[in-house]
Structure 1
Amino acid sequence: MQIIRSIQNRIYEIRGERVILDFDLAVLYEVETRVLNQTVKRNNKRFPKDFMFQLTRQEFAGLKPQIDQLHGADFQQNTSMSSQIVMTYPGKRPRTALPYAFTEQGIAMLSGLLNSDKAIQMNIAIMRAFVEIRRIVLEQGDIREQLKQIQQHITEHDVQLSSIYDAIENLLDEKAAQRKWEHRDRIGFQRP
């Protein structure tokens, strides 16, 4: 379960897709990032744009705080861009090129290319992490629907409470008017 949480922390949402970046995959598969990227380049026909894409500078800059938090201070100093061909584990060399992002399908395609036991085990864990995230998102959708229903009920109750408050205020006004009538100064003859 710990490994799945670790993987979930490495899944980002970019361009409406849940992805894992190349250097995170390299760490998970225990290979160098350059080896992973060379394998992908040798088999580029297997990786269409919906399986893998390169981040823009803005996308990478937006993710940088999350990445820095996950990888720590060593990675912060080395996340200026580096060539994908020569990039190794985070912290080893400075980055000069933008990272690649792999969708769930791209990661599944990688499993057929990286054939080590570690890669196979990690791929299974990664697929489980994606499934767990989908389950959580579905549950959040149910929670959102429940919150909408609660909000509707609260709005209805607010209207009802406002009506009750107005009715009580009217009753209090009537009672105050009646007291004034009973305690008024009488005109005319008074009995001793």
Structure 2
Amino acid sequence: MSVLNTVSIPDEVVMKKIYMIRGHKVMLDRDLAEIYGVKAIRLREQVKRNKERFPENFMMQLTEAEVEDMVSQNAIPSKQVLGGAFPYVFTEHGVLMLSNVLKSEKAIQMSIRIIEVFVKLREVILLHKDVSLLVEQVEKKLIKQDEKIEVLFTYLSKFIEKEEQPRTEIGFKRKGK
């Protein structure tokens, strides 16, 4: 029986471990180690041994400011939870590469699962963009309609504002009136 059949991880669990850093969706080394069932130090060792497999768009090390931001904005209790040092973060491609350097069945299966979640996230973002575009188009139409209604009211108010002058009667007139 394969690990995929025995170990399942809900999408929500993975999504909660994906952060946005430097414009990339990334996962922390400690979170990946937990998912892969290895110690974080072992994961970092394998990454250091295979540094050439992890260019900057696959993996990056957080700066002090980024660690502070993560602690303050993501309900991480302290820097110690991140491993005490500046942790590494991995993009979608880095997650895939990790399965190649860790080489365990569980790491491979979990990498596939994580990539599936990244793909779903991308689809949700694209759907969100489509919905945003439609809302923007509707807003533009409403603004144009508002402008037309405003012009209509301006013309109507001009008719209402005109002072009514008494009209001279037309037709047959009697003397004395």
TM range (shorter): 0.7 to 0.9
CA 1:2 to 1:110, structure 2 compared with 1: closer, same or farther past 3 Å? closer
Matched, 1:63 2:51: no
Q: What's the secondary structure of 1:50's corresponding residue?
A: coil
Matched, 1:124 2:112: yes
Q: What's the secondary structure of 2:154's corresponding residue?
A: helix
Matched, 1:16 2:17: no
Q: What's the secondary structure of 1:96's corresponding residue?
A: coil
Matched, 1:97 2:85: yes
Aligned alpha-carbon RMSD (Å): 2.3
Q: Which amino acid aligns with 1:160?
A: K
- In 1: Cα distance, 2:9 partner to 2:166 partner: 77
**TM-score scaled by structure 1?**
0.75
- In 1: Cα distance, 2:148 partner to 2:44 partner: 63
Matched, 1:133 2:134: no
8 Å contact from structure 1 (residues 52, 103) kept in 2: yes
% same residue: 33
Q: Which amino acid aligns with 1:181?
A: P
Q: Return structure 1 stretches of 4+ with deviation > 3 angstroms.
A: none
Matched, 1:108 2:131: no
Q: Residue 2 of structure 1: CA displacement?
A: 6.2
- In 1: Cα distance, 2:117 partner to 2:146 partner: 42
Q: Residue 25 of structure 1: CA displacement?
A: 0.6
Q: Which amino acid aligns with 1:76?
A: P
CA 1:136 to 1:53, structure 2 compared with 1: closer, same or farther past 3 Å? same
Q: Which amino acid aligns with 1:63?
A: M
Match of residue 161 from structure 1: 149
Match of residue 76 from structure 1: 77
Q: Residue 45 of structure 1: CA displacement?
A: 1.5
8 Å contact from structure 1 (residues 11, 18) kept in 2: yes
| Equivalent of residue 144 in structure 1, options 105, 111, 132 | 132
Match of residue 44 from structure 2: 37
Report how many residues are paired.
163
8 Å contact from structure 2 (residues 96, 112) kept in 1: no
Q: Residue 170 of structure 1: CA displacement?
A: 2.0
Match of residue 181 from structure 1: 166
CA 1:116 to 1:66, structure 2 compared with 1: closer, same or farther past 3 Å? farther
- In 2: Cα distance, 1:53 partner to 1:106 partner: 9
| Equivalent of residue 158 in structure 2, options 170, 182, 187 | 170
